[in-house]
C-alpha cells in the first residue's frame, strides 16, 4: 500500500477525538471511522488504537460505556466529554495553523524569497 501515509506523532489522538466527536463509537468503529474520514490514507496497526483510547479515557477526554453493537454484541463505546471537545477544538486549530504554515513554506519558490 504505497499510497498510505505514516502517522505523524501525536496525530492519532487528534484523529480519535475527531472520530468520536461525530458520535459514540466502539473501538473497532473508531478504526473504521478514521479509515473512512481519512479516505483510507492513514496507516496504523489496529492494536495501537487501544493504548491511545485508554490514554484519552485516563485523561478524561473521552468517556466509556458498555453497550450493544449493531450486530447485538456487548461492546465498549467511547464518546467525547466536554474536556475532549475543548481539546479537539484547540488541537484542530493548532493543526490547521501548522499545516497552513507548512503548506506556505513548501509553496515558496526561489523568486519569492
Please identify, among the stretches 3-11, 73-81, 85-93, 97-105, the one whose residues bind another protein according to the rule CB under 8 A. 73-81
82 lines the binding site for another protein (CB under 8 A)? no
- Phi, psi for residue 5 in degrees, rounded to 5: -90, 140
57 lines the binding site for another protein (CB under 8 A)? yes
76 lines the binding site for another protein (CB under 8 A)? yes
Nearer to another protein, 56 or 88 (CB): 56
Taking alpha carbons only, the member of 33, 32, 27 closest to residue 50 is 27
45 lines the binding site for another protein (CB under 8 A)? yes
- Residue of the chain from 37, 75, 91, 92 that contacts another protein (CB under 8 A): 75
- Residue of the chain from 8, 40, 54, 98 that contacts another protein (CB under 8 A): 54
Amino acid at each position: 500500500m504505497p499510497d498510505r501515509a505514516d502517522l505523524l506523532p501525536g496525530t492519532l489522538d487528534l484523529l480519535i477525538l475527531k472520530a468520536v466527536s461525530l458520535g459514540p463509537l466502539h473501538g473497532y468503529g473508531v478504526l473504521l471511522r478514521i479509515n473512512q474520514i481519512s479516505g483510507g490514507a492513514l496507516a496504523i496497526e489496529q492494536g495501537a488504537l487501544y493504548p491511545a483510547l485508554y490514554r484519552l479515557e485516563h485523561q478524561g477526554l473521552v468517556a466509556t460505556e458498555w453497550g450493544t453493537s449493531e450486530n447485538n454484541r456487548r461492546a465498549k463505546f467511547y464518546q467525547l466529554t466536554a474536556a475532549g471537545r475543548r481539546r479537539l477544538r484547540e488541537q484542530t486549530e493548532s493543526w490547521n495553523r501548522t499545516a497552513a504554515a507548512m503548506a506556505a513554506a513548501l509553496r515558496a519558490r526561489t523568486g519569492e524569497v
